Amino acid sequence: MGSIILKGKLFTGYDIVENGEIKITGSMIEKVGEKGSIEIKKDDKVFDFSGLTIMPGLIDAHLHFFGGTSHDLMDWVTVNPQTAMLRSTLDAFRLLSSGFTTVRSLGDKTSIALSRAFKNGELLGPRVFSASYSIAQTGGDDDPRILPIDIANRLSYSYYCDSPWECRKAVRLCIRDGADVIKVYASGSFAGGGKIKRELTVEELSAIVDESHEAGLKVAAHAYGEEAISNVIKAGVDSIEHGLGLTEKLAEEIKEKNMCYVPTLTAYALSKNKGSEERKKLIERHFNEDMEIAKEKKLNIVAGTDLVGISEEPHGLNYLEIVHLSKYIGNLDALKAATVNAATCLGINAGVLKENYIADIIAIKGNPLNDVNELEPNHVDFVMINGKIAKLNGILMPFGV
């Protein structure tokens, strides 16, 4: 069987090749070069994408597959498991059709099965990096406290822990599930409607990081507020999720420790005017001071939407994070946030059109370097994941070719 050759304008993840070619053999990129630099053999398949922009597959580094219908916590924890899985599988198809070839799901009850199905070749969808269940303190974020504790523990998508040793056990439970990453709640959020405060101590967070790193897994930390951000920096997490309440001093520490900053602007933009005055104020600050500090201090900004797949905010709109980021860091760096930066954050050999990288490639009608809105789903003409064509001429091919 021959190789696949793609011809056209390339955005490699770093720069533009106006007339380029890519050779894909198996699941990997074998060669990238100028037009005419790749020898084409008789059994090779050649695709000419003149007028399109060929680029790395997009990555959403923070989302969830809850399979629910609303932002209500009880909906997330009580949805029928079979229903949740069916809805999440449809969400996975939507994501792939929209050009997202890798996603990181940070706490839910379905993504571990999606991740396993992708790895086993049983599902053509995006590569799913799953945290399995998230880790939180008892009575903390996403603990449905109206339920008795035993029922809450059984229905929740979090493992609850209340000491360093319990936190280590929670990590081990995630590892037992097959987690690709560990997600921890270092603060509250808006899910329960309460006041934002730090959750878990530095000692507990450090135990989680130590146990995770010992197993070769990165740690993503949900952190709202200065105290929570400071705590996760001290604990040595790998990425800070949301990061509302960023200060210049904290940003300098994040930069010094080479941590990723995932501001999840899309989720807030879609619900900016909802909730309490405190919520609105924190979000307003996030879209102004927080992001200006992140830009000024040149943090490693990574694209993540925090979309959960409900009908009002479906997966497939994930490109909006790139649109929001572009307003602060420009189109090129916003695209990098969803390709090379996100791949580095996840620790995968993707996100770049380069020899010996995974062949996750898309082709866009238009030029997203000039206008990132060109990334909207109906502009995604071609999708390849792991060297397998999943969308061609705008038509999703659920079994791949």
Residues 112 and 242 reside in one and the same domain: yes
Model confidence over 87-136: pLDDT tens digits?
Answer: 999 999 999 999 999 999 999 999 999 999 999 988 889 999 999 999 99
| Mean pLDDT on 135-158 | 91
Let me know whether 158 and 220 are in one domain. yes
Together in a domain, 233 and 112: yes
Extract the tokens encoding 161: 């822990």
> Across all residues in the chain, what is the average pLDDT?
94
Q: 277: which residues sit within 8 A by CB, 6+ positions away?
A: none
The 3-state secondary structure of the chain, one letter per residue: CCCEEEEEEEECCCCEEEEEEEEEECCEEEEEEECCCCCCCCCCEEEEEEEEEEEECEEEEEECCCCCCCCCHHHHHHCCHHHHHHHHHHHHHHHHHCCEEEEEECCCCCHHHHHHHHHCCCCCCCEEEECCCEEECCCCCCCCCCCCHHHHHHHCCEEECCCHHHHHHHHHHHHHHCCCCEEEECECCCCCCCCCCECCCHHHHHHHHHHHHHCCCCEEEEEECHHHHHHHHHHCCCEEEEEECCCHHHHHHHHHCCCEEECCHHHHHCCCCCCCHHHHHHHHHHHHHHHHHHHHCCCEECCCCCCCCECCECCCCCCHHHHHHHHHHHHHHHHHHCCHHHHHHHCCCCCCCCCCCECCEEEEECCCCCCHHHHCHHHEEEEEECCEEEEECCEECCCCC
Q: Find how far residue 50's CA is from the centre of its chain.
A: 30
The answer to whether residue 228 sits within a structural domain is yes
24 & 116 share domain: no
Statement to judge: residues 321 and 354 lie in one domain: no
Domain presence at residue 255: yes
Amino acid at 283: I
pLDDT at 400: 63
376 and 305 within one domain: no
What's the rounded mean pLDDT across residues 23-33? 96
Q: What pLDDT, in 10s, does the model give residues 266-309?
A: 999 988 777 778 888 889 999 999 999 999 999 999 999 999 98
pLDDT given at position 194: 47
End position of a domain, from candidates 346, 371, 386: 346
**Whether residues 152 and 300 fall in one domain:** yes
Co-location of 30 and 94 in the same domain: no
Residue 66: CATH number of its domain: 3.20.20.140
The neighbouring-strand residues paired with 130 are: 105
Provide the edge-to-edge strand list for the sheet that holds 58-63: 58-63, 100-105, 127-130
Last residue of a domain, one of 346, 367, 385: 346
Last residue of a domain, one of 346, 368, 388: 346
With respect to residue 114, please indicate whether it lies within any of the assigned structural domains. Answer: yes
Number of domains the chain is built from:
2
pLDDT, residue 195, reads: 66
335 inside domain: yes
What confidence score (pLDDT) does residue 220 get?
98
Q: Answer whether residue 81 is part of any domain.
A: yes
Per-residue pLDDT tens over the stretch 201-254: 999 999 999 999 999 999 999 999 999 999 999 999 999 999 999 999 999 999
Tokens of 361: 């490639």
* Domain assignment of residue 221, yes or no: yes
Give the CATH number for residue 386.
2.30.40.10
pLDDT digits (tens, 9 = 90+) for 313-342: 889 999 999 999 999 999 999 999 999 999
Is 401 inside a domain boundary?
Answer: no
Pairwise CA distance, residues 105 & 307, whole Å: 10
In terms of domains, do 43 and 129 share one? no
> pTM score, two decimals?
0.96
Note whether residue 121 is domain-resident. yes
| Residues 39-87: tens digit of each pLDDT | 999 999 999 999 999 999 999 999 999 999 888 888 888 999 999 999 9
Pair 222, 187: CB distance under 8 Å: yes
CB 282 within 8 A of CB 224: yes
Token code pair at residue 376: 């909207």
Q: Which of 25-34, 51-60, 388-397 has the lowest mean pLDDT?
A: 388-397
CA atoms within 13 A of residue 82's CA, in its CB half-sphere: 0
Q: Are residues 231 and 204 in the same domain?
A: yes
- Whether 88 and 118 map to the same domain: the answer is yes
Q: Which domain holds residue 21?
A: 4-56+350-396
Q: Are residues 74 and 170 in the same domain?
A: yes
